[in-house]
């Protein structure tokens, strides 16, 4: 309707217009139905927190509903017809299913729609390397995985390439080394990590230090020396013997002259006192796994370097002659 209004100088003209609300036709109760959505995982366990968008074909109905602790989301008093259901938010730790599903709502009936969610899965990959050389991969290192509650969930050893992979569901974890490779020190570190995306791969490099190695002498090494002794020698002390093979040859000397033991290169020292008795015959003695330290010893001499015995004999002869002359 066209309405006219007269505007005067310095005045405000007023026009009142009335609208009547168009009545919305009521849907008879016998023409209504309901929708029930059930949300669960791969093991048919109910999932809470899934959000769905529900709309009809006309587009005049669009609403969101959320699954409860029983995994159920419901709508009641829906006009009959075909509805579209789309998941717009997945439960925590699960993969969103964006597929639009159709469901037909019938009079005085509850249409049922079951929707399954796949749990997020990821992977932890550990590479075990030598501390000093990262190109040296270490096999047979054992690792144990624990969940947020501290319970063991997986265990395994690195392969010939020094690598091990664990497939794990969504969650927060820790791991630690529970067995070190042979010859290496066990790592006492506890490491935390998370799997929070589907298909996620978490890669960690873990180092190990070698155990300190004590130097071990070569058991095949042989040391030899000779000792020449006086036939009247009764004892000889040999000190500081250790750790490799020693062959001693002792040969009797018909002359009572002291000889000197040759000098032997010193090795790590432990003390061993060995008594050797002379024999005019050739003597060979083997002492297993021993080494002589750097010592120089002189054998004691039972004789003298001066000819006392001949002089004594001459003196006795002269004395005897003098005695006979006096008679």
Q: Would you give the DSSP letter of residue 170?
A: S
Residues 103 and 180 in one domain: no
pLDDT at residue 242 tops 50: no
Within a domain: 100: yes
Residues 140 and 204 in one domain: yes
The residue among 87, 117, 147 that closes a domain is 117
- CATH number, domain of 197, equals 2.60.40.10
- State the Cα–Cα distance between residues 295 and 238, nearest whole angstrom: 9
- How sure is the predictor about 44, in pLDDT bands with cuts at 50, 70 and 90? very high
Residues 108 and 165 in one domain: no
Tokens 């002089």 correspond to 311
The residue among 117, 145, 178 that closes a domain is 117
Residues 103 and 58 in one domain: yes
Taking the alpha carbons of 189, 190, 196, 200 in that order, is the dihedral positive or negative? positive
Within a domain: 258: no
Which of 26-40, 281-295, 304-318 has the highest mean predicted lDDT (pLDDT)?
Answer: 26-40
Taking the alpha carbons of 5, 7, 11, 12 in that order, is the dihedral positive or negative? positive
Tokens 């490799």 correspond to 244
- State the Cα–Cα distance between residues 204 and 201, nearest whole angstrom: 10
Residues 110 and 132 in one domain: no
Residues 137 and 163 in one domain: yes
pLDDT at residue 310 tops 70: no
Within a domain: 232: no
Within a domain: 59: yes
Q: Would you give the DSSP letter of residue 137?
A: B
Structural domain boundaries, residue 87? 32-117
pLDDT for 307: 54
Would strands 222-229 and 245-252 be described as parallel, antiparallel, or unpaired?
A: parallel
Which pair of structure tokens corresponds to residue 5?
């209004």
Do 50 and 98 form a contact (C-beta atoms < 8 A)? no
The residue among 117, 132, 167 that closes a domain is 117
Which pair of structure tokens corresponds to residue 202?
């978490």
Q: How many domains does the chain have?
A: 2
Within a domain: 323: no
Q: What is the pLDDT of residues 103-118, one digit of tens each?
A: 999 999 999 999 999 9
Do 128 and 162 form a contact (C-beta atoms < 8 A)? yes
Q: What is the mean pLDDT of residues 147-167?
A: 97
């Amino acid at each position: 309707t066209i309405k006219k209004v007269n505007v005067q100088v310095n005045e405000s003209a007023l026009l009142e217009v009335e609208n009547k609300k168009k009545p919305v036709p009521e849907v008879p109760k016998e023409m209504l139905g309901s929708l029930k959505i059930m949300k669960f995982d791969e093991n048919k366990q109910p999932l809470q927190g899934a959000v769905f968008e529900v709309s009809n074909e006309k587009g005049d109905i669009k609403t969101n509903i959320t699954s409860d602790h029983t995994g159920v989301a419901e709508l009641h008093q829906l006009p009959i017809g075909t509805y579209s259901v789309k998941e717009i938010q997945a439960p925590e730790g699960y993969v969103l299913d964006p597929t639009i599903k159709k469901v037909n709502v019938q009079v005085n009936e509850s249409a049922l729609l079951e929707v399954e969610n796949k749990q997020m899965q990821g992977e932890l990959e550990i590479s075990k390397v030598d501390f000093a050389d990262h190109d040296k991969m270490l096999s047979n290192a054992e690792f144990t995985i624990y969940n947020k509650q501290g319970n063991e969930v997986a265990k395994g050893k690195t392969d010939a390439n020094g690598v091990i992979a664990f497939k794990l569901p969504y969650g927060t974890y820790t791991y630690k080394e529970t067995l070190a490779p042979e010859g290496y020190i066990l790592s006492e570190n506890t490491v935390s990590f998370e799997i929070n995306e589907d298909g996620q791969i978490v890669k960690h490099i873990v180092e190990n230090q070698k155990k300190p190695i004590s130097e071990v002498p070569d058991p095949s090494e042989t040391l030899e020396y000779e000792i020449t002794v006086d036939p009247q020698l009764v004892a000889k002390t040999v000190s500081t013997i250790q750790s490799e093979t020693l062959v001693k040859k002792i040969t009797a000397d018909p002359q009572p002259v002291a000889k000197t033991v040759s000098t032997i290169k010193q090795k790590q020292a432990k003390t061993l006192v060995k008594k050797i008795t002379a024999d005019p015959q050739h003597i060979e003695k083997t002492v297993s796994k021993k080494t002589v330290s750097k010592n120089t010893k002189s054998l004691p001499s039972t004789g003298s370097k001066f000819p006392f015995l001949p002089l004594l004999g001459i003196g006795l002869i002269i004395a005897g002659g003098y005695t006979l002359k006096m008679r």
